[in-house]
Amino acid sequence: MDLGEWGEVGGVLLPFAYEGGPKRSSDRWRTRIETTDLNVPVADAVFAMPQGSAAPAPVPVAAGKPLTLVVKVAASTPVVDAGTISGLYARNIGAAAMSGRVAAVAGRTEKDGKATLFVGAASGGVWKSTDGGTTFRPVFDDQPAQSIGAIALDPSNPKIVWVGTGESWTRNSVSIGNGIYRSTDGGESFSFMGLPESERITRIVVDPRSGNVVWVCVPGKLWSDSNDRGVYKTIDGGKSWRLVLRGPNASTGCGSLDVDPKDPRVVYASLWDFRRQGWTFRSGGEGPDASSGSGVFKSVDGGATWSEITPEKNKGFAKKPYGRIGLAVAPSNPRRVYASVESTAAALYVSDDGGATWEARDKSQWMVWRPFYFQHLVVDPTNPDRLFKMNGNLIMSEDAGKSFSVVGGFTGMHGDLHDLWINPANAKQVFAGDDGGLWLSYDGGARWWKSDNLPISQFYHVAVDDTDPYNVYGGLQDNSSWVGPSEYPGGITSARWETLYWGDGFWTLPDPADARFVYAEWQGGYVARIDRVSHEARDIQPKANKGEKLRFNWNTPLALSPHEKGTLYVGAQVLFRTRDHGQSWDRISPDLTTNDPAKQQQEKSGGITVDNSAAEMHTTIYAIAESPKKKGLIWVGTDDGNVQLTQDGGKSWTNLTKNIAGLPPHSWVSRIEPSPHDAATAYVTFDRHTFGDMGAWVYVTRDAGKTWSALVTPANDKGVRGFAHVIREDGKKKGLLFLGTEYGLFISVDDGARWARFTGGRFPAVPVRDLALQQREDDLVIGTHGRGIWIIDDYSPLRALDTSTLTTSVALLPGQTPQQRISGVGGWANGAAAFVGENPTDGAVITYYQRDRHMFGPMKIEILDAAGKVVDTLPASMRRGLNRVTWSMRLAPPRVPPAVSIAGWATTGPRVLPGTYTVRITKGDVVTEQKIKVALDRRARFTEADRKAQYDAMMKIAALFEDETTLVARTNTLRTAIAERTSEGKGEAIKATLAGLDAKVDEVRKLVVATTEGGAVTGEERLREHTDTLYGALFMYEGRPGPYHLARIAALRAELDEANGKLDALLKIELPRTNEALDKAGLERLEAPPKTVLLDQVSPERAAWLRTLKRKQKKSVTVDDVPVRMWVR
Amino acid sequence: MRTFTILSTLLLTLAATPSSAITAEELALKNAEAKGGLARLRALTTVVRTGKLIVSNGQLTLEMRDVTKRTAEGGATRNDAQLQGLSASSAWDGKVGWRVDPFWGRKDAERMTPDDAKSLIEGADIEGPLVDHGKKGHTLRYLGTEDVDGTTTHKLVVVRKNGDTTTFFLDPATFLEIRI
């Protein structure tokens, strides 16, 4: 719950605005306090539960003091930081449909039988479920790294959870971590506990006897030498760490680790020698026979000493050299140890004597395939003979590894398994994580449910089209290419996303020449043009000439020409261009790379096990961009560090790399952004993480590459963290820059002089691989590698963040013209287990800047119509920096007569007419205004004149409701007085007379409102319900009503007139007769209720009448069941 | 309108960076001081408020009224929200939580489960859990600082007797909570 302005009453400071619920959801609520009274007498009966259908005792209505306060505060020095810009908010549209790679799964069974689960996403944080996997929420988003390698739960204390950051399934696109974290509140919040240089952690084991003793298996840095790797141990709960087992060289760390749960002094650990470079990878040594630092070790004294397990000493074990080795101890029989060994005799090795001797068992395809990515075993905690091996397919053995069967993976799941948790309380429940997310089995692993609740998708690139609403396209790691809507009625469910192609997806571009087609690709440059109607995919990859090898990067760049619809560029080592959608290709460059043969040995990549999947392809073009200001001016960047430029459409090229002073050689060009404002200006990001340099390198040239300036370097990072993937410049405001790095989104409003990290909507420090600018909407679409797609709706207020604005106390900022978007029908009962992506807010978004957080005194936002009348008042947002509030653009709902149930449609008022309105902010003694123009939905098929006709009809219906309310109020007023006379009267005769009149008056009321209580579906419809139905019919469609709608209004008006006539007749004939009886009984006469009962203001007659009532009563008078005082202002 | 004198004695340099040497107890005391002082807070017997409750993305506004009373059982509270003349209530009387939800046609009161009544029970503590937390059986933990909408706040956790927790995020300049 967020608290707003604070005010004072009776010497006590209290907040007078609250907000709660998920931001921007329909569950968000706001409370605005208008009056407060302290220490007034309140009877205990007010809180007592009423019996039967009796109403709760009324709350006393006191004087009602408004909260007031003004405090002069010192102005702060304006800054541009996360707090300044993050009020713009960002929404996550998913997707969970394809989800993303899960690197770690851990769980625990609670005392009530429910399973608590933790899922570590490869680059999307930690997700927690307390309901056995039905719902998940992110619990690690506040931390500076989101790549997760390992999760461990303390078996002796359910409050303690350990997370090791940095995934250890070291594919080419793997992210990085920054150490180990611990939670002491069951995984709700985490604290950093050390190992900052570890980069990745593969396993954590907590000693079951003492939670202060923890083992951590650190493979260490992937791309460079490091001595911060091996087996670490703490005995003081993480306050300090000792490296207890290290490898023989600076490229060997820990590959796997397990501990005997019955004697935790016994520890098994594998060491893993590995290295990746931009063009090669090895697991083990440089080749199958080359020397490797990998090995297997055992300690029986808690890590004080270690002995190596070798084939010489331990009969039956695999011969060296080794690559990656996975180890697992059977929890129910710790003498049983399993080892999956990468070697030239790769197999599963099993020991039944604590590692003294071994037997080679299974060596099937899915045991030995791609060990660097899959070397992980999980043994059933209740059955030592049952174990799972992670691999492309998930295989399971029930005979201690002698044989395995495929139980999941490419069939029945996504495939590419990485971790798995078996519920020890019910071994049939298995939770597995693969490259497609989380899977749940309730039958021991035979069949799997897919979790639809983890939007941890890993986009490489993102693009948008120009439809309304626009679509978002993107390619994902191991999850193909998809398209989904940026908004959809009811929210963006998984069903709204559509898969386009196969394999790993990268650039996915809608064809601007024909909206029916999309360009997509799978890894290694297999480009296709896809027909979205027939779903036909046509290969259009440029082909090699005789004897030639075309070198397409794993993430082959595709780029559309901003000048020629239908022109597409593709980069291998040369640049290709097609002007006919791939029917033919022109080569428009020579080899633009370094063409270094030493970096073209991919067929030897892999180390012990050959692994050449196009991921290591190098000396390729990686970035292509044609200047939007000058046709034929094309920038190209390569993965081996060349920046090349043509200004004549490819006829000639200039290598500009040597002009970039201060940039180390061979720096991978990750993106080039030609400025949309100036042909000679371009921004370039360089990514050196494959050299072990995790900093950001960003340069700009303003003279077509002759000279360059560094905007961000590791030596002068200006607060930017992580290696850089993408930079974009706003099309309207020069120097408004958006930068995506491995650790998030950074924005500069001053051409790179200062950078602020964007955290709106709790946007985490997740890799931002791509950014798309939807120019019509001014939306920034963020393609993350680990948390799907996020959208900042209408970022245009950033354009106004200049020095002058930053120093003001409060300033309204211009934004997009608000549209009255059509309220479409959509959404369904998805259940709690389905992720639903967020829509943009419905209403006119008002953005303003505050130099400081507003704490004291009222702050209000009013909307005035063209005549200067206030049509709405909005609760203000308090935060420092940019703030956003939404005006619903609706009038107050009509007042309806009270009945036994809600008149559903009439709870919401109709929209105001399009036109010019004024937004006015009053903050203490500062008043600022801005005009906004409200427009129809640009998709609307009706005109403003049609809208006016609908509006006029709605006003007539509102008047109907008003008059129905008046009629019912009159009958209630009279019946209240009748009840009072009845209670005062003595004798049956007068009571009978009064009862007779009461019944007749109530008959009139029952013509207007339904009266059958009890909550059943009565189908009882009276005038009010019919009016509500008609109101709803016109509410749904804002165009011109039909003549039959207008005729219905007239018919209901006629019915109301009849009901009024009946009441008037009673007042003319029955009331005088009753008053004669009252005179005889010595009781006060009944007065005819006034014809106009205005419940939000008091006419003089009403005020006098109410005062009369109050004077004569000993307790509060009620009208319409509400204390009189509420209606008297 | 008048200037609130207690606050004028506080350092009001906004965008202040929280001091790292503060304790949970100190924060609780500063919070009470900022609100008028322990004596005034302990002297509260009832608080009655009226206002508006806005839901459904600002499209629905209800009239709200709530009342809280200090009692020997730890407080009683009741919230009412009215729409189209129908009044929904939820209350805790010190022993029982109940609600009336008339919008589906029934006006009789229903008992709430202990889980559902939790927020009411906590809201019935008229001066808040930071005041006299020890006597109430709560413990406090200071968890350092955390950004809340651009303000680096002090994060103070109240752990109740039953193990439930409430986290207060206190503005570093005024020590008033800006998020709970």
> A68-72, B116-120, B153-157: which has the minimum mean pLDDT?
A68-72
Number of other residues whose CB lies within 10 A of the CB of residue A42: 22
Rounded to the nearest 5°, which phi and psi values hold at B104?
-105, 15
C-alpha separations of A538 from A458, A526, A528, A882, A932 in Å: 25, 10, 5, 47, 48
Q: Are A50 and B109 in contact (CB under 8 A)?
A: yes
pLDDT of residue B31: 97
Model pLDDT for residues A246-256, shown as the tens digit of each residue: 999 999 999 99
Separation in Å, CA of B22 to nearest CA in chain A: 19
Contact map slice: A 748-767 vs B, CB within 8 A: 759
Chain B CB within 8 Å of residue A902 CB: yes
Whole-angstrom distance, CA of residue A418 vs CA of residue A395: 12
Q: What's the one-letter identity of residue A47? A: F
User: Mean pLDDT across chain A, nearest whole number?
Assistant: 93
Q: Which of B107, B110, B131, B156 to mutate to test the interface with A (most CBs of A within 10 A)?
A: B107
pLDDT of residue B14: 38
Is the model's pLDDT at A506 over the cut of 80? Answer: yes
Asked if B51 and A33 come within 8 Å (Cβ–Cβ), the reply is yes
Per-residue confidence at A1092, pLDDT binned at 50, 70, 90?
Answer: low
Model pLDDT for residues A553-605, shown as the tens digit of each residue: 999 999 999 999 989 999 999 999 999 999 999 999 999 999 999 999 988 88
pLDDT of residue A1101: 42
Model pLDDT for residues A921-962, shown as the tens digit of each residue: 999 889 999 999 999 999 999 999 999 999 999 999 999 999
Asked if B44 and A83 come within 8 Å (Cβ–Cβ), the reply is no
Chain A residue numbers with beta carbons less than 8 Å from the beta carbon of B94 are 47
Q: Select from A16, A31, A79 the Cβ nearest to the Cβ of B64.
A: A31
pLDDT of residue A28: 79
Model pLDDT for residues A619-630, shown as the tens digit of each residue: 999 999 999 999
Q: Select from B2, B55, B149 the Cβ nearest to the Cβ of A87.
A: B149
> Which regions of chain B does DSSP assign to beta strands (E)?
46-55, 60-69, 76-83, 86-92, 97-100, 110-111, 139-148, 151-159, 165-170, 177-179
Separation in Å, CA of B133 to nearest CA in chain A: 19
Chain A residue numbers with beta carbons less than 8 Å from the beta carbon of B84 are 896, 898-899, 902-903, 906-907
Asked if A1121 and B87 come within 8 Å (Cβ–Cβ), the reply is yes
Asked if A843 and B12 come within 8 Å (Cβ–Cβ), the reply is no
pLDDT of residue A827: 87
Is the model's pLDDT at A73 over the cut of 80? Answer: no
Residues of chain A with pLDDT > 90, as a percent, come to 83
Average pLDDT over residues A869-892: 92
User: Mean pLDDT across chain B, nearest whole number?
Assistant: 86
Chain B CB within 8 Å of residue A8 CB: yes
Average pLDDT over residues A694-713: 98
Domain ranges in chain B are: 5-42+131-179, 46-123
Per-residue confidence at A70, pLDDT binned at 50, 70, 90?
Answer: low
Q: Which of A25, A31, A846 to mutate to test the interface with B (most CBs of B within 10 A)?
A: A31
pLDDT of residue A753: 96
Select the more confidently predicted residue: B7 or A177.
Answer: A177
Q: Which of B50, B160, B180 to mutate to test the interface with A (most CBs of A within 10 A)?
A: B50
Place of tokens 């080359």: A290
Separation in Å, CA of A76 to nearest CA in chain B: 6
pLDDT of residue A375: 94
Q: Which two tokens stand for residue A563?
A: 């000048």
Is the model's pLDDT at B9 over the cut of 50? Answer: no
pLDDT of residue B58: 74
Per-residue confidence at B1, pLDDT binned at 50, 70, 90?
Answer: very low
Is the model's pLDDT at B36 over the cut of 60? Answer: yes
Asked if B50 and A34 come within 8 Å (Cβ–Cβ), the reply is yes
Asked if A32 and B54 come within 8 Å (Cβ–Cβ), the reply is yes
Asked if A37 and B47 come within 8 Å (Cβ–Cβ), the reply is yes
Average pLDDT over residues A695-720: 98
Contacts of A135 (CB under 8 A, 6+ apart): A129, A453, A832, A833
Is the model's pLDDT at A512 over the cut of 90? Answer: yes
Chain B residue numbers with beta carbons less than 8 Å from the beta carbon of A68 are 1-2
Whole-angstrom distance, CA of residue A554 vs CA of residue A505: 10
Asked if A71 and B57 come within 8 Å (Cβ–Cβ), the reply is no
**Closest-CA residue to A790 (of A519, A467, A559, A456):** A456
Asked if A84 and B150 come within 8 Å (Cβ–Cβ), the reply is yes
Asked if A47 and B69 come within 8 Å (Cβ–Cβ), the reply is yes
Is the model's pLDDT at A241 over the cut of 90? Answer: yes
**Closest-CA residue to A370 (of A430, A418, A411, A337):** A418
Place of tokens 């261009």: A577
Instruction: Give me the residues paired with residue A476 across strands.
Output: A459
The single-letter DSSP state of residue A585 is: -
> Which regions of A470-629 does DSSP assign to beta strands (E)?
471-476, 481-485, 492-493, 498-499, 509-510, 517-522, 526-531, 537-539, 558-560, 568-571, 575-578, 586-587, 606-607, 621-626
Q: What share of chain A is helix, strand, coil (3-state, %, to 5)?
A: 15, 30, 50
Average pLDDT over residues A851-856: 90
Q: Select from B14, B80, B86 the Cβ nearest to the Cβ of A853.
A: B14
Report strand pairing: A768-774 vs A756-757. unpaired
Chain A residue numbers with beta carbons less than 8 Å from the beta carbon of B58 are 30, 843, 874, 886-888
> Which stretches of A905-1022 are DSSP H helices?
944-984, 988-1008
Contact map slice: A 986-1015 vs B, CB within 8 A: 1013-1015
Model pLDDT for residues A1080-1089, shown as the tens digit of each residue: 999 999 999 8
Give the DSSP H or E segment for A728: strand A724-729
Separation in Å, CA of B93 to nearest CA in chain A: 5
**Closest-CA residue to A810 (of A931, A922, A960, A973):** A922
Sign of CA dihedral A660, A661, A666, A669: negative
Separation in Å, CA of A806 to nearest CA in chain B: 14
Is the model's pLDDT at B16 over the cut of 60? Answer: no
CA atoms within 13 A on the CB side of A60: 17
Select the more confidently predicted residue: A1124 or B80.
Answer: B80
pLDDT of residue A727: 98
Asked if B40 and A901 come within 8 Å (Cβ–Cβ), the reply is no
**DSSP-assigned letters across all residues of B2-47:** ---HHHHTS--BSSPPPPTT--HHHHHHHHHHHTT-HHHHHT--EE
Per-residue confidence at A65, pLDDT binned at 50, 70, 90?
Answer: low
Residues of chain A with pLDDT > 70, as a percent, come to 94
Average pLDDT over residues A266-290: 95
Model pLDDT for residues A442-499, shown as the tens digit of each residue: 999 999 999 999 999 999 999 999 999 999 999 999 999 999 999 999 999 999 999 9
Asked if A896 and B84 come within 8 Å (Cβ–Cβ), the reply is yes
Helix (H, G, I), strand (E, B) or coil at A20: strand
pLDDT of residue A548: 96
pLDDT of residue A1108: 46
A&B contacts, CB < 8 Å = 261
Average pLDDT over residues A640-660: 98
> Which regions of A730-831 does DSSP assign to beta strands (E)?
737-741, 744-748, 756-757, 768-774, 779-784, 789-792, 810-813, 819-820
Q: Select from B35, B50, B63 the Cβ nearest to the Cβ of A64.
A: B50
**Closest-CA residue to A266 (of A330, A202, A188):** A330
Is the model's pLDDT at A1122 over the cut of 70? Answer: no
Residue of A nearest to B50 (CA): A35
Residue of B nearest to A48 (CA): B93
Asked if B180 and A3 come within 8 Å (Cβ–Cβ), the reply is yes
**DSSP-assigned letters across all residues of A49-68:** PPPTTPPPPPPP----BPPB
Whole-angstrom distance, CA of residue A411 vs CA of residue A746: 41
Contacts of A1009 (CB under 8 A, 6+ apart): A897, A898, A899, A900, A964, A968, A1022, A1023, A1024, A1025
Is the model's pLDDT at A1123 over the cut of 50? Answer: no
Is the model's pLDDT at A7 over the cut of 70? Answer: yes
Asked if A44 and B177 come within 8 Å (Cβ–Cβ), the reply is no
Whole-angstrom distance, CA of residue A236 vs CA of residue A238: 6
Average pLDDT over residues A1008-1012: 87
Per-residue confidence at B7, pLDDT binned at 50, 70, 90?
Answer: very low
Helix (H, G, I), strand (E, B) or coil at A45: helix
Model pLDDT for residues A429-440, shown as the tens digit of each residue: 999 999 999 999
CATH 3.10.450 matches B5-42+131-179: yes
The single-letter DSSP state of residue A914 is: S
Contact map slice: A 117-146 vs B, CB within 8 A: 142
Average pLDDT over residues A167-172: 96
Contacts of A918 (CB under 8 A, 6+ apart): A863, A864, A865, A868, A929, A930, A931, A932
Chain B residue numbers with beta carbons less than 8 Å from the beta carbon of A10 are 40
Chain A residue numbers with beta carbons less than 8 Å from the beta carbon of B52 are 31-32, 34
Q: Which two tokens stand for residue A26?
A: 């329909």
Residue of A nearest to B31 (CA): A13
Asked if A12 and B57 come within 8 Å (Cβ–Cβ), the reply is no
Model pLDDT for residues A22-37, shown as the tens digit of each residue: 776 667 788 888 888 8
Per-residue confidence at B107, pLDDT binned at 50, 70, 90?
Answer: confident
Is the model's pLDDT at A1095 over the cut of 70? Answer: no
Is the model's pLDDT at A1118 over the cut of 70? Answer: no
